[in-house]
């Protein structure tokens, strides 16, 4: 869900489960279920100034219940097969390379000791305000909550380099394009492998992580999964809600969607494990498709 609200039914259910303590119990239960520890991965989009207060409340909640995860931490988890900290790990990721992530989200994350994982569309980092003005229209539009009346929407390559000194920058294709099965193989190659080469040149550093564009089932394809592996990425992130546990495929890291405007009851609901169960059928199909 990428709009600026939450469906009334989910909001009401989340409020009721929070009031009865169910979501708190479910959050604790995950630690018992995953005896060797786990890492929860979230994905955000726009983090505009008007939602900075709500976003900070969310991050404060994360700091109480989770441990920050950087690139090296994730690698050690996959290598060792257990999570060493008392609290589960948390990756907070952001799609699209939006300027609000650089200006609003990053300082808040740093205040609470979190590493941000920012997935950027590489061509957009070098686009100007006039080019970015069209990004809110069409089938391939950037799905954002608050459209600026003027100026840039996307961070610059220089700003991405500045973030890379403290956070993780990953690829989100070259032009923010969904890698569905009807996309030509040569286009996929450019959007995936070409984007990695371009981003590494922009950052002056290796790029290890890729995030698929779009959460729809049709936005995944077997050919794109093969190209991601061949391109040299170490990790690929999806949006089908499941914790990272020992044995998780590093090319099928699932994320749980949260937005900066959502109330804390809904955030608790999202990380409680309920969404994992709801996404199980779709996640199973997508994992099967991309297990190449």
The rounded average pLDDT for each run of 10 residues, N- to C-terminus, in the chain (292 residues) is: 60 90 91 92 94 97 97 97 95 95 97 98 83 57 49 89 97 95 97 97 96 96 98 98 97 97 95 95 98 90
* 253 part of a folded domain: yes
pLDDT at 244: 98
Check which CATH number belongs to the domain holding 67 and give it.
3.20.20.370
* 275 part of a folded domain: no
Q: Which residues, 6 or more positions from 116, have their beta carbon under 8 angstroms from its beta carbon?
A: 92, 93, 94, 101, 105, 106, 109, 163, 167, 168
pLDDT at 292: 85
Instruction: Give how many domains the chain has, as a whole number.
Output: 1
* 70 part of a folded domain: yes
3-state secondary structure the chain: CCCCCCCHHHHHHHHHHHHCCHHHHHHHHHHHHCCCCCEEEEEECCCCHHHHHHHHHHHHHHHHHCEECCHHHHHHHHHHCCCCCCCCEEEEEEECCEHHHHHHHHHHHHHCCCCEEEEECHHHHCCCHHHHHHHHCCCCCCCCCCCCCCCCCECCHHHHHHHHCCCEEEECCCCCCCCCCCCCHHHHHHHHHHHHHHHHHHHCCCCCEEECCCCCHHHCCHHHHHHHHHCCCCEEEECCCCCECCCCCCCCEECEECCCCCCHHHHHHHHCCHHHHHCHHHHHHHHHHHCC
Residue 65's domain comprises: 39-263
Measured in degrees and rounded to the nearest 5, phi and psi for residue 111 equal -60, -30
* 287 part of a folded domain: no
- Asked if residue 289 lies in contact with residue 220, where contact means CB atoms within 8 angstroms, the answer is yes
pLDDT at 9: 80
* 214 part of a folded domain: yes
Residue 256: DSSP 8-state: E
* 109 part of a folded domain: yes
pLDDT at 127: 79
pLDDT at 149: 54
């Amino acid at each position: 869900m990428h709009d600026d609200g939450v469906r009334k039914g989910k909001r009401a259910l989340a409020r009721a489960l929070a009031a009865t303590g169910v979501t708190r119990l479910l959050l604790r239960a995950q630690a018992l279920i995953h005896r060797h520890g786990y890492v929860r991965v979230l994905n955000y989009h726009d983090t505009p100034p008007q939602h900075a207060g709500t976003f900070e409340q969310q991050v404060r909640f994360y700091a109480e219940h989770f441990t920050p995860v950087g690139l090296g931490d994730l690698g050690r988890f996959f290598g060792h097969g257990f999570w060493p900290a008392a609290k589960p790990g948390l990756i907070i990721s952001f799609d699209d390379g939006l300027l609000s992530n650089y200006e609003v989200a990053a300082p808040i994350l740093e205040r609470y000791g979190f590493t941000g994982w920012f997935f950027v569309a590489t061509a957009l980092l070098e686009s100007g305000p006039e080019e970015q003005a069209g990004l809110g229209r069409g089938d391939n539009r950037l799905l954002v909550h608050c459209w600026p009346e003027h100026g840039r929407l996307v961070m610059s390559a220089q700003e991405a380099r500045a973030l890379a000194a403290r956070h993780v920058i990953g690829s989100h294709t070259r032009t923010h394009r969904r890698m569905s099965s009807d996309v030509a193989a040569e286009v996929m190659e450019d959007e995936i492998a070409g984007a990695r080469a371009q981003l590494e040149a922009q950052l002056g550093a290796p790029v290890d992580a890729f995030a698929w564009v779009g959460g729809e089932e049709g936005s995944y394809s077997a050919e794109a999964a093969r190209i991601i592996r061949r391109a040299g990425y170490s990790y690929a992130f999806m949006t089908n809600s499941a914790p990272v546990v020992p044995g998780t495929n590093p090319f099928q890291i699932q994320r749980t969607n949260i937005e900066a405007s959502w109330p804390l009851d809904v955030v608790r609901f999202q990380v409680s494990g309920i969404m994992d169960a709801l996404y199980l059928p779709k996640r199973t199909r997508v994992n099967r498709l991309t297990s190449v």
